[in-house]
Chains A and B, each alone.
Chain A
Amino acid sequence: AQTVTQSQPEMSVQEAETVTLSCTYDTSESDYYLFWYKQPPSRQMILVIRQEAYKQQNATENRFSVNFQKAAKSFSLKISDSQLGDAAMYFCAYRSAPYNQGGKLIFGQGTELSVKP
């Protein structure tokens, strides 16, 4: 069975600074997706960034980028130029790639990010 671990329950960053959230996972599969989701107090889960395991290039979405280390099974999220609106709970998630696996997401425990003005 696949597992996802986030070892940082809480992180804090100064506005305009950079912060990195850590995530490790365990799987025997070779084809899968990894995600970072943001969950503000409104509870709405919002997709931040996605990485396909077969792609060596790290995904980037504006101020958000990942460091995907497939051999080490590590998937960290870097937030540059942090903004007050980035404060939220962040979840790392895993999903098997093949269509016949159904696509259920396996989440980590979450990291609560606070941004100081």
Chain B
Amino acid sequence: GAGVSQTPSNKVTEKGKYVELRCDPISGHTALYWYRQSLGQGPEFLIYFQGTGAADDSGLPNDRFFAVRPEGSVSTLKIQRTERGDSAVYLCASSPRAGGHNEQFFGPGTRLTVL
């Protein structure tokens, strides 16, 4: 079956612009996670959804970052007034449900470059 997909694969934008990154989870997975991976680093947790609600957004770095999952499937990560420090690979993962023994399946990520 289809895995987690993310679009676009690469996004180049200018400082100050608004961007949206999309994640399509595996069908039927109720939990969805966003991570950010800076160059040469391990991924860092941003936010996760259980269904439509953001259950933990403690990893969002500031109020320029926002994520939604209105129908409990596709999620969009939104970044306002982008800064050069936002340049990173943004990874999405989905899981049958959050926590416990459930494995997370990752997408290929979106590489965001802010010029």
Contacts and interface: CB of A to CB of B under 8 A. Distances in A.
Nearest to B59: A104
B55 A102 contact: yes
B23 interface: no
A107 interface: yes
Contacts of B108: 42-44
Given A102-B48, A104-B59, A109 B41 contact: yes
Interface stretch (A11-19, A65-73, A78-86, A92-100): A92-100
Q: Which of A4, A43, A97 has the most CB of B within 10 A?
A: A43
B10 to A, nearest CB: 11
Nearest to B46: A104
Nearest to A108: B42
Interface in A34-85: 42-47, 50, 52
Contacts, number: 72
Interface residues of A, number: 28
A93 B33 CA distance: 15
Contacts of B85: none
A91 B99 contact: no
B41 A100 contact: no
Nearest to B47: A104
A91 B37 CA distance: 12
Interface of A: 4, 6, 33, 42-47, 50, 52, 91, 93, 96-110
